[in-house]
Every structure is written in C-alpha cells, then in structure tokens.
Amino acid sequence: MDHSSPTIIFSIFYWLFAFCFIVGPADFKGAGLTVENLLSSWLGSEEIDFVNFHIKRTSATLIVHCLFPIGYYVGMTLVPDSGVSFGDMFSTSLELGWHVYSSISLVILLGALTVVFYWQINSWSYHPIATNLSLYKSEDNTSDSAWRVQASEVNNEFRRIDKYATSFVGWTRVIVTENWIIVTSLYGVKLTPQDKATISVLQTEEHAVSPESNAMVQYVHLRIKPTIQRTLKPYFARVISVEFKDLKESLRTRVYTLPDLSILQSTDELFLKAFREQLNQNDRYTSSDPLDQCIGCMQRDAEVKLTKNCGSTGPHECKSCNCKPMWCAECMGRWYASRQDRHRIETWLSGSATCPMCRAKFCMLDISLLDT
C-alpha cells in the first residue's frame, strides 16, 4: 500500500464523513445529511403511515451504513497513486490486505442486502417491526399479515395530536400514543401496548454540559419490559429529565421509580444542582461572626458570602461586595437564576448577577460557602 498523501487525506475525510453520517452530530442532522432526508420521497410520511415509514427507514439505514466499507474501496480506486483499481477486486494481483478488506466489505454489504430481502418477503411481514406487532395480534387471526391490524391502529393513534413524543436523545425518541409506547432508534422501533408493558426508571445521569445544547441536562434511563411473554427482552431509552413529567402524564400505566432517585424536572432544579456543585469547588470564606438567618427563606442560616475570586478585569469586571452573609445557598442560587436569560440556559453557568443588596456584580466563581 502506498501511503502517499492523497490516499491518507481521502481516508481521513472518508471515515470522518462516515462517522458523522452514522453517529450524526447535530450539525450533520441540521444539514439534512441523514438517510431520512436523502430518501424522503421513497420513505413516505411518518405522520401518515408511521409503521411503513419506519420499516423502510430502518431497512434503508442498514443498507446505507453497510455501503460505507465497500464505498471506501471503490473511492480508493479513484485516488491517484493508491495502487488499488476497481477491476482488481477479484484478482489475485491485489495486495493481500486490500483483498481481505474488499472481501469482508462485500460480505457485510451482501449480509445487509440478504437481511433486508428476507424482511420484505410477503409485504414486509418478516421485518422486526412486523414481528413485534404480530405478538399482539388477536388469537383468531393467524394469517401472516395479521400485524397490519395493529399497524393501522398505531398509524391512527400517531396521527392524532394528543400523542406525546420526547425530543431525540442521540437517535432515540420515545412516543406515547393512546394505547402504545414506542421507542424509535437508528436501526429499529419497539412497540408495546401500554397495558402490556412494565415501565421503570433505572437511573439518572447528569451532564453539566451536553453536546446537543451546551446546557445543563439530566437523562432519565427508562426500561420497558413487555409482559405478554416472559422471554421477551426489555428495551431501554433515555429521555431528558425536563420532559419526564409530560411523558409520565401522557402514559396510562404507572412508571416505577426508585424512591431515592431524584429526577430534576425543571430547568431551575437542574441549575440549582449545578450551582451547588460549583459552590463546593469554589474557595471558601472564613468568618467568625455569628450567622444570621437567611433573609430570603427565613428558614436556614446564611451560608454564602460574595467575594471577588474570578480575576475578571475591564469595565464589566466583578466587584467585591461588602455586605455580610445574608443568604442561604439555595436562595442565592434562585436569585442568580432569576437574573439569567430564560431562553439561553447554556449561558447560565457563565453568566453573572448583581448582589441583591449593594448591586455589586458577581459571577459563579465569586460565591463562597462560609467556613465557620
């Protein structure tokens, strides 16, 4: 293999593109570079025919993604000096490494094509979405296409405006219709009637900054277990915590949650948690004065002092505040949050506020917990 630079440049760009296309960062999705956008006329409308749309989408996604390995080989034959030519794919004159690579790539592609060919037999009756739906067909209808009854029920319910759909977390989204709970992901869709599922919260996961929104976010991990057969495996989904309440309310079945799990259901709750964490990292302030009660809530002792620690300079720099400690951490956090732009959560942690008494400007780094 000749490692001349066009080969390397092509390789880097090709695999970077493939990675972005498959993993799909927000920018790529925004630019319309997804299977859904590229094949939209063939896929039809999700709103009108939800089940067919996803049967085609998952099949197309599998094939398109399995085209990438062989696409690299084909692309390489066009790169000058790569030493690879299209006609050599099956000839023994090809270097052993490329020979193995092109063979494996072909097997992957043929495997995907075979799987999709099998799925589409009998008008897609063997697709996993169809076999999933046929679990719930009525007992007196034993025909292969009995799943279409459930499919049209799902389609009808999805068309209604009272369905609830969470935002995408990666490629996953949870949809609740009148009778069904549905999880869509990159290669598959899981559907279960709500009264035949046990839904529980497994755990929560916090990120101060999420790659999608650059904002504070907590994910709630859901486990959905179909109950009609013991052998059916549960499936999982993540939703952002501020959508959890709406999701729970749109479900007719109960969501089991461990009592000690704290789900942060509003932006303020999320912020206060991040605020507390920041305070624990900040420098402490030593004071020997007796503590007053917090003048915000009148319930806790004053806990924080505003002192300039951040090193900002210039006309907009933070100022030292000479007020004595008067606020508990939570009240200070709520005050700080109330001074932020409600629509730009991503700016909150790096924002600033003014002291409620003397109007001195401070930022998150300037809030010290008291050491007494």
Count Cβ atoms below 10 Å from residue 82 Cβ, excluding itself. 20
Judged by CB under 5 A, how many residues of this single chain contact Zn ion? 16
Q: Does 310 bind Zn ion (CB under 5 A)?
A: yes
What angle, rounded to 10 degrees, do the helices at 5-23 and 50-78 form?
Answer: 170
Told to check if 31 binds Zn ion by CB under 5 A, we report: no
215 binds Zn ion (CB under 5 A): no
- Which one of the spans 60-68, 168-176, 214-222, 350-358 is the region binding Zn ion (CB under 5 A)? 350-358
Q: Decide if 157 contacts 181 (C-beta within 8 A).
A: no
Buried b (16+ CB within 10 A) or exposed e, 53-79: bbbbbbbbbbebbbbbbbbbbebbeeb
Cβ at position 330, least distance to Zn ion in Å: 6
118 is written with which tokens? Answer: 């099998």
* Per CB under 5 A, 366 contacts Zn ion: yes
Residue 27's H or E segment, with its range, is: helix 26-30
Q: What three-state secondary structure class fits 165?
A: strand
Give the sheet arrangement for strand 304-306, strand by strand: 285-286, 367-371, 304-306
Does position 296 bind Zn ion by CB under 5 A? yes
Asked whether the beta carbons of 208 and 221 are under 8 A apart, the reply is no
Q: How far apart are CA 189 and CA 99, in angstroms?
A: 36
The residue among 222 and 331 lying less far from Zn ion, judged by its C-beta, is: 331
Binding residues for Zn ion restricted to 173-212, rule: CB under 5 A: none
Can you tell me the distance from the alpha carbon of 136 to that of 27, in angstroms, rounded to the nearest whole number?
A: 39
295 binds Zn ion (CB under 5 A): no
CB nearer Zn ion, residue 244 or residue 336: 336
CB nearer to Zn ion: pick between 44 and 296: 296
Q: Which is nearer to Zn ion, 35 or 331 (CB)?
A: 331
Q: How far is the CB of 329 from Zn ion (least distance, A)?
A: 8
Closest by CA to 64, choosing from 36, 29, 27, is 36
Window of 48-56, 121-129, 201-209, 347-355 that interacts with Zn ion by CB under 5 A: 347-355
Residue 321 touches Zn ion, criterion: CB under 5 A = yes
Q: Does 358 bind Zn ion (CB under 5 A)?
A: yes
Q: Does 331 bind Zn ion (CB under 5 A)?
A: yes
| Shortest reach from residue 8's CB to Zn ion, in Å | 46
Stretch that binds Zn ion, among 42-50, 104-112, 336-344, 364-372 (CB under 5 A): 364-372
Assign 323 to helix, strand or coil.
Answer: coil
Residue 266 Cβ vs Zn ion, minimum distance, rounded to whole Å: 18
**Contact with Zn ion (CB under 5 A) among 215, 224, 328, 345:** 328
Stretch that binds Zn ion, among 116-124, 246-254, 289-297, 343-351 (CB under 5 A): 289-297
What distance in Å separates the CA atoms of residue 176 and residue 180, rounded to the nearest whole number?
6
138 versus 281: smaller Cβ distance to Zn ion: 281
Residue 291 sits in the site that holds Zn ion (CB under 5 A): no
Phi, then psi, of 127 in degrees rounded to 5: -70, 145
Among 195, 323, 338, 371, binds Zn ion (CB under 5 A): 323
According to CB under 5 A, which one of 22, 67, 109, 357 is a site residue for Zn ion?
Answer: 357
**Residue 43 engages Zn ion in binding (rule: CB under 5 A):** no
Spatial separation of the C-alpha atoms in residues 289 and 324, rounded to whole Å: 9
Measured CA to CA, the distance from residue 136 to residue 108 in angstroms comes to 33
Applying CB under 5 A, the residues found at the interface with Zn ion are: 294, 296-297, 310, 312, 318, 321, 323, 328, 331, 355, 357-358, 360, 363, 366
